[in-house]
Each structure stands twice: as structure tokens, then as C-alpha cells.
A and B are shown apart, each in its own frame.
Chain A
Amino acid sequence: MKPSSFRFRMQVRSWKTLALVAAMLAIPALGPAQAQSLQEKIKNHQPVVVVTEDDYRPFEYIENGKPVGLDNELFQLMKADAKFDLRQEIIPWTGLLAGVSSGKYDAAVTGSLINQERMKAFDFAMPVAANMHKYLKRKNDNSIKSIKDLSGKTVGVQSGSVLFARLPELQKMIEKTGGKMGKIVQYASYPEAYQDLANGRVDYVVNVEIGLLSVMEERPGVFEIGQPVVESPSYVGWPVKKGNKEMLDYLNDFLRKVKANGKLEELQKKWLKTSFKNLPEHVEPNF
């Protein structure tokens, strides 16, 4: 009996290994959805899908179940204008850029910032805003009056954002004053970061000034905006997968159109409280 049962065990063990190896070999064969060009999609009556973040004031957020904000309103204009099936999906920031880079979405109409790392994977449409990063602190926190006071304090920032990626610049600024960067806490989205700032779990939150102004308006009297934490502004641009020239041209044509007819400026004033008259069409960030 012994030899045959031993043989069976060997067989079982090798079956399991075989299954495992087969599964692993299959993985490289999988790849992202074949990114169809814009023309192909329009010809085949397939929807063109843009993606937007679900909670990033004032660029895009949900109020009473309806998507509002600068990017959502611009998307509505785009959709009204489009002669093909243009759709929007709204998801958390966590999967947004990865979704564009894998071809699930044709573009992201979102308040994402442009930096060198992202330019390796994406092409960006012309910027719709430019902003400095600043820090937000509790109004009643008198221990923070300048960059020097940020030494050792805990900062909250969104995970996977350029705000997080550019924190080394703030670190240099703090170290120049003889201090040290404190703990960095990463949040999935800004509302949670602001909440933790209010309840004292973090000491300051870093975001673009536009975002901070928005929360100041939302919650008057709770916070105060501090000094810039970077030396140069970041630009807000809509990413498409690198090489997707057709989609990029489509977005740029649309943006040129709303720039020309004044709609862009109107919406910028409405949502961002300021208009950006001299934005370049293409930026090359040094960060």
C-alpha cells in the first residue's frame, strides 16, 4: 500500500505546483485594455469615459447627490458640446490616475497637479489653474506663526498627491530655519484630513491655496491659512494616458473654446475665486 500512496502524494504535490506555476505564468499575458483611439471609439459607438474625483473641493465634489465644482461644470459643458457618447465616472482619488494609465478611462477631468513623475506616464491638457501650496492650521493654534514653527509638528496630506510629493521642499525650508520635519500622515481624501486638523490629531494640512480657501469658506472661524510651503506654484491639468494624442487634442480644443468665449474665466471666478489669465499652454515643472 505504501508505495502507491506515496506516488499519489507526489502526484498531488506536483499538481498543486503545476497549478501555481500555471497561474503565475498567466499573469504576464494579462495586460491593460487595448486603449482604443478616440476615433475608433466614436466610430464603434463606444462611450468615451472621463473620470473625476469624488471629494475634492472646489474642483469636484458631491452636494446633495449631484456632482458640482469647477471640473464637473466644465464636464457638463463638454458633454453638451460633444457629438459622441461622453460619460463620466466618479471614484475616490486612490484609483483615479491608475485608471487613466491602464486605459480604463480615456481622461481624468480632475484637479490633479502636474509634476515630472506624472509626466512620465501622462500627457496633460493645458492647465486650468496655478497655485501655491500653503499650510492650514487651527485658528486658535498660536504656536504656529511661520514656517519655523512647523518644526516637529504633524502634517496631514493626501496620499498619492503632488502635495505629498513636494513635501521635501517644505522639509528644506524648515531645516533652513534649524528645525525638523514632523510626522507625515497620509489621508485618502482631504475632508478627512481637515477633520483631523479640527480635532487636533494633526497640526497642519498642506493643500493648494484654492482648496484651503474653499474649506475656509465652508467652515468659517475654524482654520487659518499660513505661508507657502513651496517655492514655485503647481499647475492643475487634466491627464490623459501618455501618447493619447487624439484625446489630448480634444481636451485642448475644448479648453481653448471655453477660454475664448469667456466661460472658463466665469467658472474659475465662481469656483476658484480668481481667474487665471496668463496660464501657459504647456508646462515643464522642475519638481
Chain B
Amino acid sequence: MPYLPFLLQGALVTASISLVAIALGIPLGLALAIVRWQRIPLLSQLVALYVSVVRATPAITLALLIFFGSPSIGIVLDATTAAILTLLINTSAFNCEIWRAALIDFPRDQLEAARAYGMSPGLAFRRVILPQVWRTSLPALVNEMTLLVKASPALAVIGIVDLTRAASRIGAATYRPLPPFLAATVIYMLMVMLLVVAQRHVERMVRERYGTG
């Protein structure tokens, strides 16, 4: 396969953009979830609106809107920034709901106990809530990571030469599109399976270290 290096370059682009979006999306999702959990007036409703709309928007529509639509409102983005922003906005909305579900389920009595001990909200959050809540959220967060990687081919329409666009280019140049697309599919599957295996690993580690409580 003479075009394998080109495909692997695309895979690298997919992986790096995905990793940046994942890394930024988890804390961003948490921040959004806290806003809603704390019921901060006006911001809370805006976040609810944002989450509702973004979760309903296909990744490809969002990518087209962000890259091709942004100049009309005075924002100038290059393709890579637009790509990361697309995946980030998308994943932050889903992550917000994941974190929020864990925060809502968090036992009240622990919160009250923390307050009784005079812990400031920030301290209580850092030492009591977060360590437990991330364990609860972890499986869903890793699942969302696999969904992000599976949505990343949407970036091909804004000109990012990711794995999908690389395969498409090869097919258009050789008029034999199946081999590069099959190869690209295998590479995507490997990426997703890697995340799934990592998830099972982390779940087991969490279970062993912290028990199922």
C-alpha cells in the first residue's frame, strides 16, 4: 500500500485534534455542569439552552457552521482551530450532562457534613465531591470519547486532512476508493478499541482501589 504514509498522517491529525478536544472537553463539561448544579441565575438557563441545542446538532452541521459561518459574525478562524472548537463544543455539551448526572446523584448527607465541618464550598468540592464524582462519571466520559472519535470524520468537510479526507483523496486519485476506506475504517476501529480497552482498565483499577462503594 504505497499510500499508507498519507493515511497515517491523516490518522495523526485525527488523533491529535481528538485528544485536544477530549482534554479540554472534560473540564469544560464539568464547569458547565457546576453552573447548572449550582443554579446560577441566567447562566444556568443559558447553559441549559446551549446543551440542548448542541446535543441536537449533527457534528457535520456544527463544523460547517463554525468554520464557514464564523466570518459572517466577525470571527476569523483557521481550519484547525475551527475543527478543535467543533469537537470541543460538541463534547462539552454531552460531558456537561454526564457530570451533572453524577453531581445530582451525590449524597446530600456528605454535602451537609462537609458544611457542618466548616468546609468552604471550594474545599468541599475539591476534597469531597470531585474525587467521588469522577469515578462515577468515568465510564460515561470514556464512552463519550469514543463517540467523539466516531464523530471526527465530520471535520473532513472543512478541509482538514484527517484520516477520512486522506482516504477520500486517495480514492479520488486512484479511482479505487475501497482499499483506502477499508484501511481507514480499520485504523478508526483500532483507535476506538484502544479507548474501550483503556476504559475497562480504568474501571477495574477504580474498582480495585476504591471498592464498589
Contact = CB atoms under 8 A, between A and B. Distances in A.
Q: Do A and B touch directly, given a CB cutoff of 8 Å in the complex?
A: yes
Interface of A: 12, 15-16, 18-20, 23, 30-34, 54-55, 89-92, 94-95, 98-99, 102-104, 188, 191-192, 194-195, 198-199, 219, 222
A195 B171 contact: yes
B42 A33 contact: no
Contacts of A19: 42, 45-46, 49
Nearest to A34: B74
Contacts of A188: 157
6 contacts: A15-B45, A30-B72, A95-B67, A192-B168, A194-B172, A195-B172
Nearest to A98: B68
A94 B41 contact: no
B175 A20 contact: no
Contacts of B49: 16, 19-20, 23
A219 B71 contact: no
Nearest to A62: B169
A20 B45 CA distance: 9
- What 6 pairs across the A-B complex have the smallest Cβ distances? A104-B71, A191-B172, A95-B68, A30-B73, A102-B71, A19-B45
A33 B68 contact: no
Given A95-B68, A219-B175, 19 more contacts: A16-B48, A19-B46, A20-B49, A31-B74, A32-B71, A32-B74, A33-B75, A91-B159, A94-B64, A94-B157, A98-B68, A98-B72, A102-B71, A102-B72, A104-B76, A188-B157, A191-B173, A195-B172, A199-B175
Contacts of A54: 159
A199 B171 CA distance: 12
Give the interface residue-count category, chain B: 20 to 34
Contacts of B175: 195, 198-199, 219, 222
Given A15-B45, A19-B45, A198-B175, A32 B157 contact: no
Contacts of A199: 175
Contacts of A30: 72-74
B175 to A, nearest CB: 5
Contacts of A34: 74
Given A15-B41, A195-B175, A95 B74 contact: no
Nearest to B6: A65
